[in-house]
Chains A and B, each alone.
Chain A
Amino acid sequence: GAVVSQHPSRVICKSGTSVKIECRSLDFQATTMFWYRQFPKKSLMLMATSNEGSKATYEQGVEKDKFLINHASLTLSTLTVTSAHPEDSSFYICSAMEENTEAFFGQGTRLTVV
């Protein structure tokens, strides 16, 4: 299957700082990318859907000013957690897909805010 690379796999940041997570499709053009958040032993919660070159569509309850999503190219989407706080600590997963094909997932990023 296609490869989606997510970086970094782990990050620790200080409260109040911002952190950027990258999601790259390595061998296909990702017209649509998704960002999920997953709490321990829970399911994946969709945060937002992004299409290349347009603004992301955020799910209800997700703060768009806190979780900035940019999908500037067909191979790269970024999630920036702004002014991070300990409650933002979580596992973040991206997935990417070409037009109307199946989605492939990145390895995930464990964010710890101290």
Chain B
Amino acid sequence: AQTVTQSQPEMSVQEAETVTLSCTYDTSESDYYLFWYKQPPSRQMILVIRQEAYKQQNATENRFSVNFQKAAKSFSLKISDSQLGDAAMYFCAYRSAFSGGSNYKLTFGKGTLLTVNP
């Protein structure tokens, strides 16, 4: 079974600074997807960024980028120019690339609570 580990229960960053959230995972599969989701106080889950394991290039979405190290099974999220609206719980998640029903389920880490200080 796959596992996802987020070792930082809480992180804080000053507004406009950069912060990196850590995530490691364990799997025996060679092809899979990795995600970072944001859950603000409204509790709506929002997809921040997605990485496909077969792609070597790190995904980026505006101020959000990842450092995907497949051999090390590491998938960290970097938030640049942090904004007050970035304050939220961030979840790292894994999904198999195999097709069908239960293969599509997401395995979540325990989350990192990010505080942005003005």
| Chain A interface residues toward B at CB < 8 A | 1, 32, 34, 38, 41-44, 46, 49, 51, 57, 91, 93, 95, 97, 99-100, 102-105, 107-108
Contact = CB atoms under 8 A, between A and B. Distances in A.
A32 B91 contact: no
A102 B47 contact: yes
B106 interface: yes
B101 A32 contact: yes
A44 B89 CA distance: 12
Contacts of A104: 47
B44 interface: yes
A46 B2 CA distance: 14
25 contacts: A32-B101, A38-B43, A42-B111, A43-B91, A43-B108, A43-B109, A43-B111, A44-B91, A44-B106, A46-B105, A49-B101, A49-B102, A49-B104, A49-B105, A91-B43, A100-B99, A102-B33, A102-B47, A103-B104, A103-B106, A105-B45, A105-B46, A107-B42, A107-B44, A108-B44
